[in-house]
Structure 1
Amino acid sequence: MYIVTGGAGFIGSNIIKALNKRGITNILLVDDLTDGKKCLNLSDLNIADYMDMYDFLELVKANALNLKVDAVFHEGACSATTEWNGKYVMDVNYQYSKAVLHWCLKNKVSFSYASSASVYGAGPIFQETRDHENPLNMYAFSKFQFDQYVRTILPEAKSQIVGFRYFNVYGPRENHKGSMASVAFHLRNQVLAGENPKLFGAYDGYEAGGQSRDFIYVEDLVETKLWFLENDDKSGIFNLGTGHAEPFRTIAETVIEHYGKGEIEYISFPEHLKGAYQSFTQADISKLRDSGYTGNFRSLSEGVKDYMTWLDSRD
């Protein structure tokens, strides 16, 4: 059996979709479905069972999860970068992750988990070493601290542990994320509502719309994770991006071209984000490549076109 925590979420549901494509349906989905709209991510997926995230945690802590498990994809987390309740964030993102990790170690189960490029703060170097890590918010700190904990475990681990520092992920099945959904999703909604797509104006030394991120299409991200599943001798913490930064302006231009309407409108940079915003990210993926992974990643314009086409098919 495969376990996917956060399985009704954006990346978790895409992992289940990819497993289904490989003929795997013996999957335990773990999540908090208080927000029932997340069920829309699951309507075309096949799983064996569902468990609430807190019920799962209790069984894990008691080592009472009586299942034969091949691998755990730990994707569940509080992903809001604007959440400043530190106790809550650390309980959900750090303590919970530790419990699942130790269950996997005790039972010799492959453990793959979601870290984040936010651990690097403002950069400018995005490389998996302590001297480049400087989290700027509670979400980033919780992911950084778990990475630090994993680093102490890795040398003695007898089963696979793989952490992936996700850069800016976008693509299908993120509709439920609200304000935390990708820029591509929001700009499409603006254009279809008859508005101009809006981007931040000049800030932090970047021209209007020129703030740049390493954007990775969710299907490319999942393919990378499944390669590690098939190569369970590989452990470590890896950046997971394309290795190329592209400006937000490219997203807006691609959305405008796809729908044939709108023009970019620039807005003032929000005061509440100043000092806690990454104006530039670019994954150093040399460690990922050194692991043996040779897969390709879509360019931003290619990925946005594919995503718009997918969204259009769901309207």
Structure 2
Amino acid sequence: MLRTVATVLIDGVAPFEFGVVCEVFGIDRTEDGVPPFDFLVCAERPGERLRLTVGADIVPDHGLDVLAEADLVAIPAYAIRDEYPPAVLDAVRTASARGATLLTVCSGAFLLGATGLLDGRRCTTHWRHVDEFAQRFPAAVLDPDVLFVDDGDIITSAGTASGIDACLHLVRRELGSGPATAIARRMVVPPQRDGGQRQFVAAPMPDCEAESLEPLLTWMVDHLDSEHSVASLARRAQLSTRTLARRFAAETGTTPQRWISTQRVLHARRLLEESAMGIDEIARVCGFGTAPLLRHHFRRAVGVTPMDYRRTFALSDPGC
């Protein structure tokens, strides 16, 4: 049962990610039917000031001894460093060995990685840090794309808002959908985003130098609903197909067909968020032709179906 939640702070705490943990577990929502949590903020030296990343301080009330009674140890984001306090690492290892669940938000995965507890375990972190994380913790099984990973007694999440998703997922897993939905409603956030969703890193139009493919790329984006073969694109660019393929890979890092598919998915995302167009119409204007083909490419690129994406991210009720 999830009753006692301890969050561990060190110097360089990111206030938003710490606030996510506080918002989900630290506020009394019993009037909404959420069981109460005993929420404890701890550090190696309680009562001493710790620096936040935004030029302010925080003073934890509790020491690391409270981890001995915690059902959940929450590790928010910190400024990434070469070494982490040995006493904190030992306390987290001990809590894990005792059976506590561990949860990280964003760069908090680096502290958990330093304990060795992620060796051989599935995990994630913010997309900007995945290369450094993989280099520092090669034994961890890193998934760089997803919002969060539930690996049983260890839950890791990507940047910022995905920490909310991971916390609500844990509440749902341990206490049921009622408390999770109640917390989400008070926070005015979607009650559930599947952890397998991609981190929604946009693929904007690449910067192109003079006499490059920029005119062709712009034209392709303006004509997503048209068919584009390598031969037709080469004719438009007045290049041989071989030269086009070589320059396309050099400037975009991919093939023409993969690039246009990505642009179509990005356009579909915008329409799902901002318009009331039906799925069939979105498929047509984005160049996929049919709704099944849109679903296939969208799910492969984003990790969820177009309708699930719309339910989560639509700016207003599209009525479909």
Shared fold, TM over 0.5 = no
TM-score (norm 1): 0.36
The structure that is strand-richer by fraction is 1
TM-score, length basis structure 2: 0.36
